[in-house]
Structure 1
């Protein structure tokens, strides 16, 4: 009983990640408290040997330590998001002290179902019951949809590696809830990223001759059913996108996507003189200078973006070439490591990485505390996990 209680305390950040973390605005701040408790209990129970073992077994940790160090440097040198710095410090320390054998397939399946229900409940409550605009949700729509997408891809991986009927049903249910949450949030970029991630995993299974028609048929009917249920919301978003594209083609860039194009066009001028380490929070002053020089429009200047709606451009401007390279390594290394393996955890990591990499083209998933912590914890822990090959039920 004592061992189970201690293990539960060590698992607190993981349990929170799939429950309250998906529901409350300050979930990322509360996560730090959970991490502190987990680290203390883990060291009391396992000693410093767990840290030595994780450093030896988890090569991804070295990259996290480097990125965390660079973030701390940027924070004190020219300003860096405290949210991002806090997330990297907390997650790196947690992963250093976390005994990864505590997170097994059975527990992850249960947590994924809880997470999918949490994501759906959040969106349903604020959009359907309270009729609150998605930009005013406690967790705004795009970061929330990114969280739902992570749950969806893990559930999909669990579905393809289901070994009995109950696992199969749980995984299908989690896929339905999480995909529905994404569609209800009306986030185009994240939805496209999820679709491409699904296609990638289909191709991965096909190349390994593990592809079967039953899996394709079930997933196809799931998407059709959800699409028919939410067809009015989907059509409304489609019309909005069509109108935006039409306005842009006519030269009107005062739209959501049009303003993003204008922001991206400022990149050469924004990074001038700050190529290596970026300008940090000083990008705001540079933005004003470009406006005074007549290089950006009043509409874009009044928009005053907190970020540049493209993770790669945002990182280049704020943290320079070094920051961009570290970001790319954060994406590429776990993807390469997981491509070589064929199990539920490696597939989940591949899917998560692809979702973030594609979403980063039109948003900043590594800028927000919630999706950043979700990525760091899950990718870091799931990448080195080994499982035995078993025959999947489906």
Structure 2
């Protein structure tokens, strides 16, 4: 399956489960993954639906007086926005409130093209206007500080409490602390699209021809397993055209390519054989931003530009609420059909996207798969 269509299919399956419990109807929608979630409504007006009226601020969440079943979705990324949209598409019997900290979303998918100048960050940025105006989704721009799985309520940083019949959590990922990195921004991960993406792009552009770029691959599981290898190929192609004589070193913490080995190993050794140098079992144990060096099991290596992608875990709210009961406490265990939490007493909480660990979506280094949402 094309992993970039996975979120639409996964969202559809989850929606069916939720609606069975909430009494919803039916419907469908197709399109590319970003458009599926947000209907391509860019903040700069590009590729969007210009007929949709602008919306300002957040609309009020459902109070329960309508008689509809209520679902609260936490997190407005690809997974959260998609399930919120599909819940509304499948019938008007469900009132959906989407809680997101930021009024705009910067899509990770295709964000590596910002590094090579083929896209801009503005191309990657979307707002939630269409979800409100076309699909009737309530939006609250606030931070969820806690949830109560028994009462099915969420508490906001602003002090409010919202109640629902079901809670869907899609809080994304957090990164492990890299020893020695501190607060330095000299080794950006750019694994959450945003300021670090433009920072890494500027570092690449400023590098002199003949320089060394390092891309690290974290220990699995992590968001979008093919992503680091894809980025390495993309950058190698860009270096070949724009920075002659340069080299790209891939430091893979895993014992081998975690996905699509025939494709990536062929690209690394043949297509970009004179540019890419691949090291397996090269987990980064220490970094020194001052000297741009990384200490690994394969030795100490220096680069002019370092794309340091740390190891990952479920979003902080999942851990805070004790729902991180899978993959060594890194991700949330869920029922493979309903995405309901497998933590006793938390069955009304569904965890989707990069924070969850499901059989087809989480993997060990010798297995294929993706981590929750396939969007990087």
> Larger strand proportion, structure 1 or 2?
2
Which has a greater percent of helix?
1
Tell me the TM-score normalized by structure 1. Answer: 0.27
